[in-house]
Amino acid sequence: MIVETPEANVAHFSAIYGRPVRETNAEGAVQNARNDGIADLIAAHLDAKNKRTKCEGEAKKIAKDVRQRRSVLRHFSQAISARFLIDLTQSDLAQYGDTMDKIPKIHGKSRADRDRTIHELVERAEDLPEEDVGLSANTKNRNFGIIKDFLTFARAKHGIVPQATLFFEDLYSRPEDGECNERLAFSDDDVTKLTDHPVWREGRCPETGRDGRSFADFGLYWMPIIADLTGMRREEIAGMMLDDVVTDHSIPHFDIRPNRNRRLKNKSSRRCVPIHDGLMELGFRDYVDGLRDRGEIDLFPELKPTAGGSYGGVFYKDWKKVLDEQLGPDLVGKVFHSWRHRFVTLMRNDSAIAKDVVQDIVGHTPQDETDRTYRDTTQFRDEMLARLNPAIQSVPCGHWMGKA
């Protein structure tokens, strides 16, 4: 039996990794002569590992190893911001490590899972029970080992190394560190520390002159606030378009629906969520109007990713710096999804708020078969908004405004 060697051509790996490996001009000449593209190097690494052999048992072992490496390296390339190996940083490795904490423990068994990007796996995991989310310490360490072996290949065979020094030993997990995989809600103390960061310390969004140009970090400013006051998921917020923000309704709201920037997790994710009055007080309407005046299409244009990336992935780098700076050693188990956990916890501990109201706000799939199969919350928008609005407005927001 001969192991089949995959074709390492540009079109093939563009399809696998979701982005072009090189760009060409009208004459077909290669514009990008760099030889450190991560996608190209992964292709070469997999090709080198896929050795020919006539031994059937050895061939199966090689095929399994290559298949596993392809999956890990594909997800790694999708999770990080760097597109060229020379630009790879410790932050990229940490971002991939954090992402492994947010995907289903069991994935890749079905064809649908194998076709999903790392961002789609994160979305699939968001409503799973805690015990079903986050790779084990051993699996994470194995995946980091595959990446380290890939970097060794790039150095030994191509003489290419990242400019930054990388410390894999800082990222390895011990089997007893199970708590690291648990996604925890932000505590009141966490929120106090986070909102003391300079981005939010002054309260209202920095003045923009209604053109959105004088302050660059709009996504970093608004996304945590929106998540805290609505329980929305990271990609739901980051990939929102201006048409999804309805400010001319009697109850201003977010129309959470699939768009060209991102899809939704499931049918229940399609919903309308009232906009908290605190957002308006902080200048959100002015911000949205300013973008519309400029002719923008996306709510956070600065988060537009390169091909194959996600809006939330671009947001992650600056957000991770804030988490590290403000929470330090208290960061264990805390991610952006911790806002959603905090929101649901606050809602569920308020006896005046019905469980189905919380369910409709955050887009959880109903447990009742009738609701799950037949109930469509989008056909009665006005009635739904009126029912959900009191719960949204009850969420405390003073911490974002510099108030105790």
Cα–Cα dist 159/339, whole Å: 43
Cα–Cα dist 288/307, whole Å: 26
Cα–Cα dist 2/150, whole Å: 24
Cα–Cα dist 12/30, whole Å: 17
The residue extents of the domains of the chain are 10-181, 188-401
Residue type, 170: D
Contact assessment for residue 282 and residue 400, using Cβ atoms and an 8 Å cutoff: yes
Q: Assign domain 188-401 one CATH number from 2.40.330, 1.10.443, 2.30.30, 1.20.120.
A: 1.10.443
H-helix or E-strand spanning residue 253:
strand 253-256
CA neighbours closer than 13 Å in the CB half-sphere of residue 135: 22
The per-residue pLDDT string of the chain (404 residues; one tens digit each, 9 = 90 and over) reads 333 333 333 334 344 344 444 444 444 444 445 788 999 999 999 999 998 877 776 777 788 889 999 999 999 999 998 999 999 999 999 999 999 988 988 887 777 777 888 988 888 887 676 777 888 888 899 999 999 999 999 999 999 999 999 999 888 876 544 433 456 889 999 999 999 998 898 777 776 554 555 667 899 999 999 999 999 999 999 999 999 999 999 999 999 999 998 888 777 789 999 999 999 999 999 899 989 998 999 999 999 988 777 888 889 888 988 998 999 877 777 889 899 999 999 999 999 999 999 999 998 876 554 454 445 555 688 999 999 999 999 999 999 987 65
Which spans in 211-275 are helix H? 218-230, 234-238
**How many angstroms separate the Cα of 271 from the Cα of each of 45, 119, 244, 351?**
44, 20, 11, 23
Contact assessment for residue 232 and residue 404, using Cβ atoms and an 8 Å cutoff: no
Nearest of 195, 222, 239, 196 to residue 284 by alpha carbon: 222
